[in-house]
Amino acid sequence: MSEFKKFPGQPILSQILNVIPSTVIHAASRKHNANRYYKRLPLRLHLVSLLYGVFSYCNGLREVCEGLLACEGKLSHLGLDKAPARSTLSDANNKRSYRVFETIYYGLLRQYHSFISDSRLKGLSIRNLKVVDSSTIQLFSEILRGVGRARGDGSRKKGGFKVHAMMDAFSGVTEFVRLTEAREHDQKFLHHLKLPANSWLVFDKAYTTYHRFAKWSEQQIWFVTRERDNALFHVTKVLIDRTRRHNRKGVLKEQYVTVGIKQNGTVVQRLKLRRITFKSDEGKVYMFITNNFTLPACQIATIYKNRWMIELLFKQIKQNFPLRYFWGESPNAIKMQVYCVLIAQLLMVVIRRKAATKKSFSNMITVIRLHLMSYVGLLEFIKDTYKAWRKIHNAMLEFSP
């Protein structure tokens, strides 16, 4: 694992880049032959340029290139002889496959997964909990088709794409990502998941597909989701019924139910599920279904509560990284930028854990953005910004004539 620099001999961005092992970049380059067809900007320099744009929140390639141009004298710390031209960076975004950056992301995830994972998750006794959801990013472009009706005012309908993600609840980062057109239904994402036995999945009711649920039951892959409003089921056994108790909260009812799995309009199988009615402290009633029959009902509710972690992750990414404007109009350039954002988010999770800081993610990103090319120790600066800055300032005063 790469070590962080403990002295301010390099700018903050250079210290962030040191978190990326060179072996990960070389492995991705060899796998995809990334430098064969585009040699004007080698893969590492391409990655550095895009990460500069991500951390400095650049809304276009011109801002990226002119920002790097203003860093003359410091670029050698980043491995750059000079700032790349906008046309060079644009060509690289279009010609070099985004799969290279996807491979780098998964390589970093394998490198740091055990380091950033927390074995404790409040209120749960299970392991290997995954959260599934999607987020739509809108584009005023026809390159990726959107959903919905044509706009009534005659203006152009928004295009867009979906980021389908499976998040590890114990590490706080995405373990599997798939980028599609916005019109693709969420259920299709479940067919791409490969999970070992005794894994747990939690997702909202948009992902309800009983055929997939039946296969997971056979493979001992457990899920928790909410019941659809129009769900048809047959109650086979009532385990708990506290619905008549006044002002009762928590688990109100626990039942065994069966649902029909249809093929060509005919029910070919009855799937056995567990149905739990739960009332929150705010008074809202939820209906959960799961294919696990051993975990206490209160923990099933806690598992679904942790589904909001992925909503917070999407919010964290959209608010702190540039995903409003894109550095190219081709699908390849857009997907490349998304993976660079995911790489940056993963690096920040690693650095935050290493620094053991109590700063919020947004505050940490803002501080780094403002001092991206400052010569200050990264971990000390994140943990206590004022103390680290005073330390550098006092050292400069001691050496001044």
Residue 262 lies in a domain: yes
Q: Does residue 327 sit within a domain?
A: yes
Whether residue 9 is predicted with pLDDT greater than 90 in this model: the reply is no
Is residue 146 in a domain? no
Contacts of residue 228, defined as CB under 8 A and 6 or more positions apart, other chains included, come to 205, 208
Domain count, the chain: 2
Which tokens in the block code for residue 4?
Answer: 């962080």
Element (H, E) at 259: strand 250-263
| 6 has a pLDDT exceeding 50 | no
Q: Which of 297, 312, 338 is the last residue of a domain?
A: 297
pLDDT of residue 295 exceeding 80, the answer is yes
The answer to whether residue 316 sits within a structural domain is: no
- Record the tokens describing residue 200, joined without a space: 């747990």
Residues 217 and 282 in one domain: yes
Does residue 239 register a pLDDT over 80? yes
Lowest mean pLDDT among 56-60, 76-80, 199-203: 76-80
Q: Of all helices (H) and strands (E), which one includes residue 255?
A: strand 250-263
What average pLDDT does the segment 60-70 reach? 87
**How far is the C-alpha of 53 from the C-alpha of 62, rounded, in Å?**
10
Q: Single out the residue of 376, 381, 378 nearest to residue 392, CA to CA.
A: 376
pLDDT of the residue at 187: 86
Note down the domain range covering 261.
Answer: 204-297
Question: Which H or E run includes 260?
Answer: strand 250-263
Beta bridge partners of 226: 288
**Pair 213, 268 in one domain:** yes
Has residue 238 been placed in a domain? Answer: yes
Let me know if residue 168 belongs to a domain.
no
CB-based burial, 134-146: b 16+ in 10 Å, e otherwise: bbebebebeebeb
For the cut 80, the answer to whether the pLDDT of residue 116 exceeds it is yes
Same structural domain, 287 and 327: no
pLDDT band at 11 (very low <50, low <70, confident <90, very high): confident
User: Is 329 domain-assigned?
Assistant: yes
Please indicate, yes or no, whether residues 211 and 293 belong to a single structural domain of this protein: yes
Residue 88 counted as domain residue: yes
Q: Are residues 208 and 286 in the same domain?
A: yes
The most distant pair of C-alpha atoms in the chain lies apart, rounded to whole Å, by 89
Q: How far is CA 171 from the centre of its chain?
A: 11
Q: Are residues 282 and 245 in the same domain?
A: yes
**Mean pLDDT, all residues of the chain:** 84
The answer, yes or no, to whether residue 152 has pLDDT greater than 70, is no
Same structural domain for residues 216 and 293?
yes
Where is average pLDDT lowest: 17-31, 53-67, 342-356, 378-392? 378-392
pTM metric for this prediction = 0.85
Q: Among 297, 332, 349, which residue terminates a domain? A: 297
The β-bridge relationship of strands 129-139 and 159-168 is: antiparallel
Instruction: Return the closest-CA partner of residue 355 out of 387, 389, 316, 383.
Output: 383
pLDDT of residue 8: 53
